[in-house]
Chains A and B, each alone.
Chain A
Amino acid sequence: MAGKVFLQMENISMTFPGVKALNNVRLDVREGEVHALMGENGAGKSTLIKILSGVQKPDTGSKILIDGKEVSFSGVSDSIKHGINAIHQDLSLFPNLSVAENIYLGRSKNGKVDWKECTRIAEEAIEVLGIAMDVQEQLSNLSMAKQQLVAIARAISFKSRLLIMDEPTSTLSFSEVKMLYSIIEKLKKQNIAILFISHKLDEVFEVSDRVTVLKDGEYVGCKEIHELDENRLVQMMVGRSVAYAALNGESYAGEKILEVKNLSKRGNFKDISFTLHRGEILALTGLVGAGRSETVKALFGLNPPDSGEIYLHDKKIDIKNVSQAIENKIAFIPEDRHEEGLILAMSMKDNVTLPVLKRILSPLRFINRHEVDRVAEEYVKKLSIRPSQIDKLAQNFSGGNQQKIAVAKWLVSKPDILIIDEPTHGVDIASKTEIHKLLKELAKEGMAIIMVSSEWQEVFALSDRVLVMRHGRIVHEDNTATGNQDLMMEKAILGGN
């Protein structure tokens, strides 16, 4: 069954400004096998795929061998030439063009397009998949599942020997996933190798032959699937490498402050109900794409729900936009500080005071500059932001300090409820511990905190209570200290039962 080795990647490293995304990672794929690539968010899967499909160039010293011969990719067309095709998560198709052209595009003879050839190639590729489809149909008229099939057809039409599928099932329904599995079987029989990226364990066990696991940009291991069971795979993915000081020895949870009842939004989340208490850190966890961020954004007016009720201090409130959320003393610190959190080209003090400007106006409605400085100085001290220059532009601070500025920005508004999305994503260990301490400190002062996190160690070390989400629903709720932590992880990855 195991064919000869088609692709070998050795010593793959990739350094971005400030971050080492991959460190000496290896991967080998054999002909006709389904090889799963697994790891938590930020493990380096997508970087590895980008290198493999020629979008990014790895650091020098990295080696890629195809059929035992070393190759180097200087662009997407190089990797295609070597028989490697990627189906990106966003499919990367052209909604304005026909199915046939979506499959054909990228080929030409002397700059001309041969439409007969185009139709022939497209029909052939569709036939290989064993499905029926009108290749002249415009792509935007097709369902997501059909579009996915077009992307696969496109990839195999290039006489592909290795197909990279990045989360191929994330937009498919159950029956469509079954169809995808059968297509994968067909491709295997034609000796095409498949690199399957997924964070759904059941899928991996169903289709793959071998699994390579990455964690924090490092290679963890490569195992035959029958050597593994679900627990051992989870163990490999989660690891026990970084342990944080457990801060949840004492709980400061007090009276109930927020109650959410049956919050639903089509295509986002369904029947979300939970309560939150003063001084409590509530962790909202689950896999990426489980609907956690969507849920908390609903509480902050960024993603208004279709139905459901929110009660603050036992009073029903409406949160239709951010201003209403702020008026209700809710604060939200987004995960992506660069895109959503900070105005990088503005000074630290202007960032920190941006949400509360209304409160520090002089009688003539001018901004009170002294007050701005005072507030900024206060929080520099409180959060030990370094360097302690309030006039410095936000973009000139380090990642950890930027996160602190983002936190400060919302503490200034003295919220009752603080929602924080992935509080320590992309931050070094030292800053992580500091941010953890800060959050616990805030809880002690009586703030209610909802923390969205996919890092289990963080959840276990910091939170008082855990809500586990999967497919847009809350599937499990437990007390962190007394609950079964393995069960929580299992629920997040495998769902109910």
Chain B
Amino acid sequence: MKKILEKRETGVFLILVLLCFGLSLYSPSFLSYTNIKNVLVNSVPVGIMATGMTLVLITAGIDVSVASQMMFSATWLAIFSQSSPLANPATVLILALLLGAVTGAINGLLIACFSIPPIIITLGTASIYRGIILVYTNGRWIMNIPKWFTSLGKTYFNIPLPIIYAIVIFVLTAWILKHTYFGRSVYAVGGNENAARYVGVDIKKTIFLTYFYAGLLCGFAGFVLDAILGNCQPSGSNGWEMNAIAAAVIGGTNILGGSGTIVGTVIGVVMMGVIENGLVVAHIPTYWQKLVYGLIIIVTVTFDVIRRNYADSQKQTIDVD
């Protein structure tokens, strides 16, 4: 019990509960089924990206190409579903994962093989992936995604399918992080790269797999996005990579690497969805969002860095008797 109370996730969760409580007092419609459903469903694509981002951040890396990767997948899926006779739910899903695998693998290879700062590489690949789909579609929206595709994003028996997808991804990723050698290597690499080498962790492989996995999830997020929206705007979801980073950071992932959990990220994602919705409910223009998220990132990172520097300064170098 004490341990649960000490965790950062608990604190964030309590804030989330308070926030929801406050909003429901302010506007009773906030707690309505439709509103909650909308908040959650709209958060799913970012939530899936943030899950991958969490892994990347734990290794002390960063991936600012996630939104581009998602749109890369979403655009080709939209085109494929409209034009190919082979298109059906199974092939679309496979293609989504394939596209994500390709973009993720390119990121992973470049970062792991050349040890170039990940932010530079992903900044570059972000504009490559985005550039490719924009050139191909000439920036035009792809409307009228087939019914069978959008039916994958609908609600049945009051249960929205996208939420099911998200839960599957969350549980799967949490399981990977907790129970696989790869998952523990992610923590090891981010916590102490040198020590990880001493215990025989393959650093390059771990880093590659992390970006690869993040790419896979982005591919899947593209699939979900198409299913929810029913259309695809290749230039859309600009800046969502920052939302994914913010969600992970709010949920307690240390951007300097070493710690973070999926549970925390999920809370972070929901929190962001609620803030966004709350702003609408409270008639505060949505552009306040960015300011708030930016501030949250700056403050939490400052806090983490100060704590780390303090811990370092406390290390005694010489045993003075």
Point out residues on A near B: beta carbons under 8 Å. 53, 55, 75-77, 80, 86, 88, 90-97, 101, 105-106, 108, 111-113, 115, 140, 144, 170-174, 266-270, 289-291, 294, 471-473
Contact = CB atoms under 8 A, between A and B. Distances in A.
A110 to B, nearest CB: 9
Contacts of A290: 318
A80 B320 contact: no
Interface in B248-271: 258-259
Given A92-B194, A291-B318, A471-B321, 8 more contacts: A75-B200, A96-B190, A105-B199, A111-B181, A113-B181, A113-B184, A267-B316, A471-B319
- Most A CB contacts (10 A, CB to CB) among B188, B201, B318 go to B318
B191 interface: yes
Contacts of A268: 317-318, 320
A80 B179 CA distance: 23
B198 A76 contact: yes
A291 B319 CA distance: 9
A267 B180 contact: no
B290 interface: no
A90 to B, nearest CB: 8
Contact of B318 (A97, A111, A172, A269): A269
A346 B70 CA distance: 45
B197 interface: yes
A55 B316 CA distance: 27
Contacts of B319: 170-173, 471-472
A267 B197 contact: no
A471 B259 CA distance: 36
B183 interface: yes
Given A113-B179, A471-B321, A80 B200 contact: yes
Contacts, number: 101
A94 B320 contact: no
Contacts of A105: 184, 188, 199, 201
Contact of B192 (A75, A93, A173, A266): A93
Interface residues of B, number: 30
A76 B179 contact: no
Contacts of B299: none
Given A113-B178, A113-B184, A92 B318 contact: no
18 contacts: A80-B200, A92-B195, A92-B199, A94-B187, A94-B192, A94-B258, A96-B190, A96-B258, A106-B201, A111-B181, A112-B179, A113-B178, A174-B321, A267-B318, A267-B320, A294-B318, A471-B321, A473-B320
Nearest to B201: A106
B182 interface: yes
A55 B197 CA distance: 9
Contacts of B194: 90, 92
A76 B318 contact: no
A294 B317 contact: yes
Nearest to A139: B191
Nearest to A471: B321
Nearest to B177: A113
Contacts of A289: 317-318
A95 B199 contact: no
A172 B321 CA distance: 11
A111 B81 CA distance: 36
Contact of B320 (A92, A95, A471): A471
Contacts of A101: 184
A296 to B, nearest CB: 14
Contacts of B182: 111
Nearest to A140: B311
A226 B199 CA distance: 37
A97 B189 CA distance: 12
Given A268-B320, A471-B318, A96 B259 contact: yes
Contacts of A172: 319
A79 B178 CA distance: 28
A171 B258 CA distance: 24
- Most A CB contacts (10 A, CB to CB) among B184, B199, B311 go to B199
Contacts of B184: 97, 101, 105, 113
Contact of B180 (A93, A111, A472): A111
A402 B301 CA distance: 40
Nearest to B179: A113
Given A88-B198, A111-B180, A113-B181, A291 B191 contact: no
Given A92-B192, A92-B198, A96-B191, A113 B183 contact: yes
